[in-house]
Amino acid sequence: MVKQTRLLMGMPITVLAQDADATQDDLDQVFDYFQSVDERFSVYKATSEVSRLNRGELAADQLSVDLREALALGEQTRRETHGYFDMLRDGVCDPSGVVKGWAIQRASELLRARGCASFYIDAGGDIAVAGLRDGALWRVGIRNPFDRAQIVKALAVTDCGVATSGTAVRGQHIYNPHDLATPLEEIVSLTVIGPNVCDADRFATGAFAMGRAGVRFIEDLPGFDAYMIDRHGMATYTSGFERYTVRV
Partner 1 sequence: MRQSAKKVIVAALIIGVFLLYSLTHMRSGLAAAPPSTDTAGGAPTTTTASGPANSSGAPAGSGYKNGSYTGSVADAQWGYIQVKAVIAGGKITDVQFLQYPNERQYSVQVNSFADPQLTQEAIQAQSAQVDIITGATDSSEAFMQSLSDALSQATA
Per CB under 8 A, contacts with partner 1 among 29-88 are none
Using CB atoms within 10 A of its CB, is residue 56 exposed (0-12), middle (13-18) or buried (19+)? exposed
61: Cα separation from own chain's centroid: 28
Asked if 127 is part of the footprint of partner 1 (rule: CB under 8 A), the reply reads yes
User: How many C-alpha atoms does 122 have within 13 Å on its Cβ side?
Assistant: 14
Per CB under 8 A, contacts with partner 1 among 216-245 are 216, 219, 229, 232-239, 241-242
How many residues touch partner 1 (CB under 8 A)? 61
Given 186, 195, 223, 243, the residue binding partner 1 (CB under 8 A) = 186
Asked if 108 is part of the footprint of partner 1 (rule: CB under 8 A), the reply reads no
Using CB atoms within 10 A of its CB, is residue 204 exposed (0-12), middle (13-18) or buried (19+)? buried
H/E stretch holding 206? helix 197-208
Asked if 95 is part of the footprint of partner 1 (rule: CB under 8 A), the reply reads no
The DSSP bridge pattern shows strands 2-8 and 119-123 to be unpaired
Given 49, 86, 122, 199, the residue binding partner 1 (CB under 8 A) = 122
Given 162, 184, 209, 210, the residue binding partner 1 (CB under 8 A) = 162
Given 74, 95, 124, 131, the residue binding partner 1 (CB under 8 A) = 124
Are the beta carbons of 202 and 77 closer than 8 angstroms? yes
Beta-carbon count within 10 A of 18 CB: 19
Would you tell me which residues interact with partner 1 (CB under 8 A)?
5-7, 10-12, 14, 16, 120, 122, 124-127, 129, 133, 138-145, 147-148, 150-154, 162-170, 186, 189, 191, 211-212, 215-216, 219, 229, 232-239, 241-242, 246, 248
